[in-house]
Amino acid sequence: MATTINTTSPCPSRRSLSRMLALLLAIPLLLPAFADDKTVDLQLVLAIDASNSVTDERFELQKQGYVAAFRNPQVIKAIMSGAEQSIAVTMMQWTGPFSTVQVVPWMLVKDAASAQTLADAIAHSERELYGGSGTSISGAIDQGVVLLTQSPYKAQRRTIDISGDGPNSSGRSVIRARDEAVAQGIGINGLPILSIDRRLDNYYYSYVIGGPGAFMIPAANYENFAEAIVKKLILEIAANPPPPGPWGAVLARNP
Quote the pTM value. Answer: 0.85
Q: How far is the C-alpha of 19 from the C-alpha of 121, rounded, in Å?
A: 9
Separation of CA 22 from chain center: 16
Instruction: Kindly write down the DSSP assignment for every residue of 105-153, as one continuous string.
Output: EEEEE-SHHHHHHHHHHHHH-------SS---HHHHHHHHHHHHHH-S-
Q: How confident is the model over 232-255, as pLDDT tens digits? A: 999 999 877 777 777 788 988 765
Mean pLDDT of 149-158: 96
Judge contact between 140 and 102, C-beta under 8 A.
Answer: no
Buried b (16+ CB within 10 A) or exposed e, 226-244: bbbbbbbbbbbbbeebeeb
Alpha helices by DSSP H, the chain: 12-35, 56-69, 73-79, 112-124, 137-150, 174-183, 200-203, 225-237
The domain limits of the chain are: 13-240
Q: What is the dihedral of CA 96, 98, 102, 106, to 10 degrees?
A: 120
Helices 225-237 and 56-69: crossing angle, nearest 10°? 40
Lowest mean pLDDT among 1-10, 15-24, 69-78, 186-195: 1-10
Fold topology of 13-240: Rossmann fold (3.40.50)
Judge contact between 101 and 2, C-beta under 8 A.
Answer: yes
Judge contact between 134 and 99, C-beta under 8 A.
Answer: no
pLDDT of residue 4: 47
3-state helix, strand, coil split of the chain in percent (to 5) is: 45, 20, 35
- DSSP state for residue 240 in the 8-state scheme: S
Q: How confident is the model over 47-79, as pLDDT tens digits? A: 999 999 999 999 999 999 999 999 999 999 999
